[in-house]
């Protein structure tokens, strides 16, 4: 059992403990001591190596820099506020240094504020549109604009005919013409009203419908389209 690993394994599962025991047996059996010449070999190799260099961490560098700057500022303030024994030339030099430091601090603070402001703006994202710039929620209907149904339909027949009384609609559609025809009488435009009624939009093939929808369709597909209520 290893010297250091014996006491703090309570968190391990039974399986893990079994593997741990095997590793400890192995470690106990493979435990060679250094040979007699090992330390001398290492020392000889170290003699041939360059002298170690003390490396300071960035934090220690920064703290030393700040400490030196604070001390120098203290000296400058003491020189300015000192008695008459301090020559004017020294006072002017110290005052100039304080002014430069003050300017640097001000500039740094201004840059930090500007940076923080830009970060806040960036985090907040683009400004939300105002009510005036927001598009109207209710679409306005222009008489010169074709209706939505003037677009070619994905439906093979160009019409999403519903309610054909059980027959599949073979209506080729309105041929790209507006579907809001007179005579729809408030019915949905995509419903030719085929429940036994004459088609209100009987496939007028590019002609605006002059028929309020009371005539039977003369389209070749009419038998499968209009009025095919069963």
Partner 1 sequence: MDDRELAKAIVAGDRDAFRLLVERESGPVIRACARVLGDRDAAEDVAQDCFVTAYKVIGSWRGEGSLHGWLLRIAINRALRAVKAQRRHFPLEDESGEPLAIPGGSEPLTDVLTVERDRLVQEAVASLPDPYRETIVLRYFGELSIAEIASVTGRPIGTVKTHLGRGLLRLRPALSEVRLT
* Chain residues that interact with partner 1, rule: CB under 8 A: 2-5, 8, 11-13, 15-16, 18-27, 29-35, 38-39, 41-43, 45-47, 49-55, 57
Instruction: Tell me whether residue 38 or residue 230 sits nearer to partner 1 (CB atom).
Output: 38
| Joined tokens for residue 81 | 């506020």
How many whole angstroms separate alpha carbon 88 and alpha carbon 66?
28
CB of 69 to partner 1, least distance (A): 25
DSSP 30: -
The 8-class DSSP code of residue 144 comes to T
Closest separation in Å from C-beta 20 to partner 1: 6
Say which DSSP state 153 is in.
P
Shortest Å distance, C-beta 160 to partner 1 = 59
| Surface-to-core class of residue 77, CB atoms within 10 Å of its CB (0-12 exposed, 13-18 middle, 19+ buried) | middle
DSSP labels, 151-178:
SPPSSTTS------TTSPP-----TTS-
- Identity of the residue, 5 or 210, whose beta carbon is nearer to partner 1 in the bound complex: 5
Q: Which is nearer to partner 1, 29 or 138 (CB)?
A: 29
Q: How far is the CB of 71 from partner 1 (least distance, A)?
A: 25
List the Cα angle 152/158/162 in 5-degree steps.
130
Tell me the closest approach of the beta carbon of residue 148 to partner 1, in angstroms.
60
- The minimum distance between CB 64 and partner 1, in angstroms, equals 16
The structure tokens 């949905």 sit at 188
Using the minimum distance from each CB to partner 1, give the nearer residue, 41 or 67: 41
- Alpha helix segments (H runs only) across the chain: 14-29, 38-48, 58-81, 88-124
Spatial distance between the Cα atoms of 226 and 153, rounded to a whole number of angstroms: 18
Q: Rank residues 29 and 140 by Cβ distance to partner 1 and give the closer one.
A: 29
Nearer to partner 1 (CB atom), residue 17 or residue 96: 17
């Amino acid at each position: 059992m290893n010297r250091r690993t014996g006491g703090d394994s309570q968190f391990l599962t039974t399986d893990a403990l079994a593997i741990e025991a095997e590793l400890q047996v192995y470690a106990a059996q493979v435990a060679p001591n250094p040979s007699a010449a090992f330390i001398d070999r290492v020392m000889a190799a170290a003699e041939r190596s360059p002298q170690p260099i003390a490396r300071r961490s960035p934090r220690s560098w920064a703290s030393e820099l700040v400490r030196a700057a604070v001390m120098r500022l203290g000296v400058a303030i003491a020189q300015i506020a000192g008695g008459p024994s301090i020559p004017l030339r020294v006072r002017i030099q110290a005052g100039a240094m304080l002014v430069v430091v003050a300017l640097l601090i001000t500039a740094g603070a201004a840059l930090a504020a500007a940076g923080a402001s830009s970060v806040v703006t960036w985090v907040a994202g683009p400004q939300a549109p105002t009510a005036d710039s927001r598009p109207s929620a209710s679409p306005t209907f222009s008489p010169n604009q074709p209706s939505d149904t003037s677009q070619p339909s994905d439906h093979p027949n160009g019409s999403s005919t519903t309610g054909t009384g059980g027959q599949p609609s073979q209506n080729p559609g309105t041929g790209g013409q507006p579907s809001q025809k007179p005579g729809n009488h408030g019915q949905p435009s995509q419903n030719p009203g085929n429940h036994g009624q004459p088609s209100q939009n009987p496939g007028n093939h590019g002609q605006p419908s002059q028929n309020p929808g009371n005539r039977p369709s003369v389209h070749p597909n009419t038998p499968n389209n209009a009025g095919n209520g069963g």
